[in-house]
Amino acid sequence: MTFKSSLLDRLASRQARISVVGLGYVGLPLAVEFAAAGFNVIGLDVNAEKVASLNRGESYIPDIPTERLKPLVESGRLCATTDYADLRQVDTINICVPTPLTKTKDPDMSYVINSVDEIAKICHEGMLIILESTTYPGTTQEVIVPRIAARGFNVGENVFVAFSPERIDPGNKVYQVHNTPKVVGGVTPACTEVAMALYSASIERTVPVSDPTTAEMVKLLENTFRAVNIGLVNEMALMCDKLGIDAWEVITAAATKPFGFMPFYPGPGLGGHCIPVDPHYLSWKLKTLNYNARFIELASEINTSMPIYVVSKVTEGLNDEGKAVRGSRIVVLGVAYKRDVDDVRESPALDIIGLLEQKGADVRYHDPYVPSIRLEDHRHMDGVQYTDALLHEADCVVIVTDHSTYDWQHVVNHSRLIVDTRHSTHRVNGSARVVSL
């Protein structure tokens, strides 16, 4: 029996031992799906608090209720560790570690490289290794394969390597791991086959592509598409402001066209780990080939400037009230990067707060999901309690994240000046003066 057929048999019978490295917003939901499909799963994370929480059956990810996690832990289907040595006997490893940018917007591959180096030490014949972390085209072939081959393995024969981009959308109640199609690109056809067998056990549809580099590019196209279109609509908002036109009315009317148009909406800037970050991986890779990804660079320039535009709106609004930003009390509602999540990675709220403080404002924030934040200067800021007085005493309320828990009628009734970056209050009448993007 070949290593491929043996692994396929173990996957089909649910006897294969599964592992997921990186137990964050991507890794934990994936580990839970594998365990729910009948596999024994061991997760690994360098964060001992996450590991301890998982082993108690307590979820720390909003998309995974503790009520779903706890039975899997109690049944022995799912556990976690901080030690790579505990993965020596597993059959498959999915790598779901962060791939951030450096300050110069270059890829920071240290998490992936460290993980692969540790995995190479415990790799054995018949093992399947899949990278899910978003990265530049060529990573699987250039980073993973050489490190595994250096251990004497023949990829595609006695060890299998593939790339399958994560498609997690935190807070999405409709599309989650099990019903979001999974793109899979193996180093060899055999690698693709065994990777698809793993995912097919818990995910409704798998989509094979010719190789890992193609799969890596698929993810970058998805998020570059969104970043560029958001950049376009943000610039539309800037242009409409110059022309004295309501950008939201323009977009709403354009969206009535039943073909050839897809609505995107302006906002305070991009947030989250994917859209603000992933296109730069592609741009960086193309620079090594003497190609300038102009759309990506321009979209990034526009999107990253939106917090400055929001602060200018606050300044204008206060000026109209005869007040300066310096000394004004400003309340920011919502600091998560998107509605109904607790994720503040790359959130534009952090930049908005920092810029307002630089201008001398007294800034407070409230977010029902985020009790404290860490600002760019490494200071911690605690959220404040949401009360009538919080709104009454604010010289300006800035809506940055439109959490569904907020009562916008209440906000408008109890505020004097609102800068609404999410078009949340457009259907609400009240005494507050509202300034929209």
pLDDT single digits (tens) 149-167:
999 999 999 999 999 999 9
To the question of pTM greater than 0.75 for the whole model, the response is yes
Cα–Cα distances (Å) from 179 to 18, 29, 206, 258, in that order, read 20, 12, 10, 26
pLDDT number for residue 252: 96
Sign of the dihedral defined by the CA atoms of residues 94, 96, 97, 99, in that order: positive
pLDDT band at 106 (very low <50, low <70, confident <90, very high): confident
Sheet holding 433-436, edge to edge: 362-366, 329-333, 396-399, 417-420, 433-436
Per-residue pLDDT tens digits for 53-87 = 999 999 999 999 999 999 999 999 999 999 999 99
Where do we find the tokens 């990777």? 195
Cite the active site residues. 274
Q: CA of 192: how far to CAs of 115, 186, 294, in Å?
A: 21, 4, 33
How far is the C-alpha of 119 from the C-alpha of 117, rounded, in Å? 5
**HSE-up (13 A, CA, CB side) for residue 174:** 0
Give the whole-angstrom CA distance, residue 207 versus residue 316: 50
Read off the amino acid at residue 14.
R
Where residue 101 falls among pLDDT bands split at 50, 70, 90? confident
Q: Which domains does the chain have, with CATH numbers?
A: 3-210 (3.40.50.720), 305-436 (3.40.50.720)
Take residue 283 and report the two structure tokens written for it.
Answer: 């741009």
CA distance 320 to 383: 28
Cα separation, 151 vs 143, whole angstroms: 14
pLDDT band at 430 (very low <50, low <70, confident <90, very high): confident
Chain segment 293-315, per-residue pLDDT in tens: 999 999 999 999 999 999 999 99
